């Protein structure tokens, strides 16, 4: 309710039930909610199983095969305005390959959505880039940036990121 009142940029919808709840609340308030669906692209990121979120078996986001169906349902809701696609495939990812795979799948989905009349303006690609705790060798920020920004540019989308640990992790040392 407060986010609708504040005019938030984008609501990241994680399920069909959440989409219905957002639509009902927006309608009750007489506003249109800008929304993005969190899509689970079914891409393994190679992270620890407890922090992996991008495979079909994980509980986060809408299953890859249902995403277009949910977007189509939202088109019929007058209080919902689709504006984006969001995805987060995990944390502590130490290779660009999972990001590359997920971005390719999301790009194909965005093209499909545009063909059915869903105007996608934003790609929220989460975070997940790993940091060094010991001997790990995370990808270079510049290479990661070129990959995600280049994909967003080709898709004509504004890019949203949540870099989290990739920024905070190297900023200090925890002594216990």
Given a contact cutoff of 8 angstroms between Cβ atoms, the answer to whether 110 and 157 are in contact is yes
pLDDT at position 167 is 85
pLDDT at position 46 is 59
The verdict on pTM exceeding 0.85 is: yes
pLDDT at position 55 is 41
Q: Which helix (H) or strand (E) holds 104?
A: helix 97-115
d(CA 47, CA 54): 10
pLDDT at position 53 is 47
**Closest C-alpha among 12, 63, 20, 55 to residue 37:** 12
What share of the chain in percent tops pLDDT 90? 69
pLDDT at position 54 is 42
pLDDT at position 49 is 57
**Closest C-alpha among 70, 74, 91 to residue 82:** 74
141: left (phi over 0), alpha (psi -120 to 50) or beta: alpha
Mean pLDDT of 105-113: 96
pLDDT at position 174 is 77
30-77 confidence digits (pLDDT tens): 999 999 999 999 887 655 555 444 444 545 689 888 999 999 999 999
Which region among 93-107, 127-141, 162-176 has the lowest average model confidence (pLDDT)? 162-176
Q: Which residue has the higher pLDDT, 110 or 163?
A: 110
pLDDT at position 127 is 83
């Amino acid at each position: 309710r407060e986010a609708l009142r504040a005019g938030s940029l984008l609501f990241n919808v994680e399920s069909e039930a959440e989409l219905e709840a957002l639509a009902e609340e927006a309608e009750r308030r007489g506003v249109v909610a800008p929304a993005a669906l969190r899509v689970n692209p079914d891409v393994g990121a190679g992270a620890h199983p407890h922090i992996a979120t991008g495979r079909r078996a994980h509980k986060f986001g809408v299953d890859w095969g249902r995403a277009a169906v949910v977007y189509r349902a939202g088109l019929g809701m007058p209080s919902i305005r689709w504006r984006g696609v969001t995805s987060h495939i995990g944390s502590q990812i130490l290779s660009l390959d999972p990001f590359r795979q997920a971005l390719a799948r999301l790009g194909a989905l965005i093209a499909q959505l545009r063909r059915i009349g869903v105007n996608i303006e934003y790609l929220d690609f989460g975070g997940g880039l790993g940091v060094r705790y010991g001997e790990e060798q995370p990808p270079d920020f510049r290479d990661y940036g070129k990959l995600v920004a280049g994909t967003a540019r080709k898709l004509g989308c504004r890019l949203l990121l949540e870099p989290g640990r990739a920024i905070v992790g190297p900023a200090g040392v925890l002594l216990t």
